[in-house]
Structure 1
Amino acid sequence: MLKNQFFEIQNFVAVAQAGSFTSAAQALGMTGSALSKSILRLETRLGTKLFHRTTRRVTLTNDGDAYLSDCRNAMAILDEAENRLGSAQQLPAGRVRIDLPTAFGRRYILPSLIDLSTRYEQLELSITFSDRTTDLMDDGIDLAVRVGPLGNNLDLVARRLGEHRRVICGAPSYLERRGVPQVAEDLRQHDCVVGWPLGQRPSWLLKNSEGETEAYEIPVRHEIGDCEAILAATVAGCGLAQVPTWLVEDHLRSGSLVSVLDDQAADAMPVHAIWIKTPYIQPKMRVVIEELLQLAQVPGSRFQVNQPGII
C-alpha cells in the first residue's frame, strides 16, 4: 500500500467517526478542501461512493459502512502489531508461574531460572515441581517443561528442547540374586520399580528381534511417584528400573548400578517447553522461554540429544 493511500484511509475513518468534514479536518489539522479532495481520490480509486453529502450532514453509504468496518479491523491489527513490538522492548516485569519436572527441573533448569531472576530485578517467579501432567489453564501455570509425548492441544504452544534417553538398570546385589535379563521377555520374571501409574498398563519400550519398538508389559513391585526415590530404591536392590541416563550416570560409572538389555534399549522421551497460546508473548514470558532455548543449546547440556551417557 502506498503512503498516500494509507492517509486517505485514515482521513475516511476520521470523517466517518466525526460525521462532518469540518470537524474531521480540524482534528486532522488540514483544510476542508484538502480533506474533500482526499476522500474523492479514495472514492475514485475504489470506484464507489462512500458518503452521502448534504449541506447539513454527512452519512455513510452502504458501501461506505462496510468499508469502515474493514478499515477499523485493519487499523486494530496494525495497532496490535505496534503494541506487540513495543512490549518486546520493555524490561521483563511481573510474575511467571512455571512448572518443572521434579529431579530434572531442580538439577538442570532451576539454577538458570534463578540466574535469570538476578538479571531482571522486576521478574518474579513462582516455581513448582511435578512429574504429573498438569492443566496449565486450570492450575494457573504460565509455562511448563514436560518430558514425554504431548497431546494435541490447539490452545498450547510447544517448543522442543531435546530428548531424554533411558536405560534399564539394577543393583549388582539384585542381579546376582535374580539373574541378568537377556531378552525383553525375561523382564516378566523380575521385580520392577516404576513411577506412579496414570491409568495405563505398566510397560517399557524395547526393540524386538526385527528392530521394531514394542511395549513390554512388566510386573510391578513398587510404584513410586518421584524419580530420585525410584533411583534410591533401585540402588538398594529392590528391582529393575527404567530411568533417564542423566539420573544414573554416576551410579553406572561407579558400578553401584548396572545397565541391562542395552542392545534393545529404545526408549527416548522428548522434552518440550509449553505455554498457553496468546496473540503475543509478554516480555516476562519471552525471557524465560529464551533462557530455556539457550540452555538447551549449551554444549554438554542435559537437553542435548546425542550426548553419550547423558541424554
Structure 2
Amino acid sequence: MNSRFDGIAEFVAVVRLGSFTAVAAEMGMAKSAIGRAVSRLEARLGSKLLHRTTRRLTLTPAGEAWLEHCVAALDELERGESALALARDTPGGEVRIDLPTAFGRLHVMPVLLGVAKRYPALNLNVSFTDRRVDLIGENIDLAVRIGNLEDSTDLVARQIGVQQTVIVGAPGYLARRGVPRSWSDLAGHDCIVGRRQGNRIAWLMKQPDGSTARQAVPVKHELQDFETVLMAAKAGHGLTQLPSWMVEGDLQDGALQIVLEGLSGGELPISVLWPQTKALPAKIRVTIDGLVQWSLVSTSVAA
C-alpha cells in the first residue's frame, strides 16, 4: 500500500541534483525506480510536477508549489529527528518519578537533587505514594519501590538496596511494660501498626527454620502514616516494627530500643522500575545511574 509520503524524498532529490541518474547513485537505487517513484507521486497528486526532456528536467508551476511544501516538511522531520537524538544523548527535560513517602523524602530525594545539580537541563517532577502505580498508564518515567515485585514484561527493575526491619519501643514504655523476650510475650504488649495499600501491615518474624513469615500482632493503634507510627512509638504508646533506616537516628540517641533482636527480621528489596524500551532517553539513564551509584556506596539503606 502506497503511503502519502512515497516519492517525496525522490522528487526533492531530483530537483536538487537535476537528474534521475544522480539521485539513483546517491540513494543506491535503480534509475528506473526513482522515475517510477516520482511518477506514482504525480499520479496520486493528479498533477504533473516535472517537465522531462532528454536534456533537462524543469519544474511545472504545480511542481514549484509542491516543492516548497516538501522541503518544509522534510526540514521539519529532520529537526524532529535531531530533537530525538538530543533527548537520547543529552540529559534534559522533565523526568516524572514516583517515590515511597518516607523513604523517598529521606533517602532518594537527596540523590535526585544531586543528579539534577550535575545535569541542570533536567526538570524533576516527583510524587510520593505508597500505593502501586501504573507507570505506563500514569505516564511515569520511573519509580522506586520497596518489596517483592510481580513479574512484568512491560517493566524493567533493578535492585538498589535492601530494607531490614526491627521491632522497637521507647525506654519509658519498656520500663513500664517490660521487655518482651519471645514472640508469645507480645500478647501482653501494645503494638502499633501501619497500613499500606489499604491493608494492615503484619510484622515480619523469623521462623525456627530460618525463614521469614508475616505474623499478625495484637493491635493497640493502627495509623495510616508510618512517620506517625514512629512518632507514637517514641512517645511511649507501644512497640512497632519499622525499617532500620527510619529509626537508626533514634536508636543512636536512645529515643528507641530494639527488642526481640534475632527474632524480628526480614529483608525486602528496594528497586527502581521503568517501562521497557529499546533505548533509554539520556534523562532517564542518568537518573537510574545516579540511584545505582548511590546504592553502591550507601550504607544507610541496608543498615
Q: Give the alignment's TM-score, normalised by structure 1.
A: 0.68
Greater CA drift, 168-177 or 112-121: 112-121
Whole-Å separation in 1 of the counterparts to 2:219 and 2:131: 19
- Relative to structure 1, is the Cα distance of residues 141 and 223 closer, same or farther in structure 2, using a 3 angstrom cutoff? farther
State the distance in 2 between where 1:212 and 1:188 align.
Answer: 22
With over 3 angstroms needed to count, the CA separation of the structure-2 counterparts of 1:24 and 1:219, relative to structure 1, is: farther
1-structure distance, mates of 2:135, 2:218: 33
Which 10-residue stretch deviates more, 266-275 or 178-187? 178-187
Match of 2:25 in 1: 29
2:244 is aligned to: 245
Partners in 2 of 1:91 and 1:199 — Cα distance? 41
Distance in 1, matches of 2:114 and 2:209, equals 47
After superposition, residues 165-244 of structure 1 pair within 5 angstroms as 165-200=164-199, 202-244=201-243
CA distance in 1, matches of 2:220, 2:226: 15
Which residue pairs with 1:13 in the alignment? none
CA offsets 1:95-142 (integer angstroms, 9 cap, x no match): 111111222222222122122222222211111122232222333321
2:105, 2:133 → 1: CA distance?
18
Q: List 4+ stretches of structure 1 deviating above 6 A.
A: none
Q: Given the superposition, is the C-alpha separation of residues 140 and 195 from structure 1 closer, same or farther in structure 2, using an over 3 Å criterion?
A: farther
Aligned to 1:110: 109
Unaligned runs of 5+ in 1: 1-16, 37-50, 52-56, 58-81, 306-310
1:124 aligned partner = 123
Query: Which residue is 1:302 aligned to?
Result: 300
CA distance in 2, matches of 1:201, 1:105: 21
**1:63-85, Cα deviation, whole Å (9 max, x unpaired):** xxxxxxxxxxxxxxxxxxx99x9
Correspondence for 1:133: 132
Matched residue, 1:72: none
Whether the aligned pair in 1 keeps the contact of 2:100 and 2:145 (CA below 8 Å) is yes
Indicate if the aligned counterparts of 2:89 and 2:281 stay in contact, CA closer than 8 A.
Answer: no
Please list the CA deviations of residues 192-211 of structure 1 after superposition, one character each: whole Å capped at 9, or x if unmatched: 21222435454212122333
Q: CA deviation at 1:302?
A: 2.5
Structure 2 residue matching 1:109: 3-state secondary structure: helix
Preserved contact between residue 194 and residue 242 of structure 1 (Cα < 8 Å): yes
Contact 1:188–1:217 (8 Å) recurs in 2: no
Aligned counterparts, 1:82-161, within 5 A: 86=85, 90-161=89-160
Q: Which amino acid aligns with 2:276?
A: K
Distance in structure 2 (CA, Å) of the matches to 1:179 and 1:285:
50
The whole-number CA distance in structure 1 between the counterparts of 2:220 and 2:20 is: 80
- 1:263 Cα deviation after fit: 1.4
Q: How many residues align?
A: 247
Contact 2:156 2:274 in 1 (8 A): yes
- The match for 1:254 is 253
The verdict on how the C-alpha distance between 1:276 and 1:24 changes in structure 2, with shifts beyond 3 A counting, is farther
State the AA in 2 paired with 1:196.
R
Q: Indicate if the aligned counterparts of 2:159 and 2:270 stay in contact, CA closer than 8 A.
A: yes
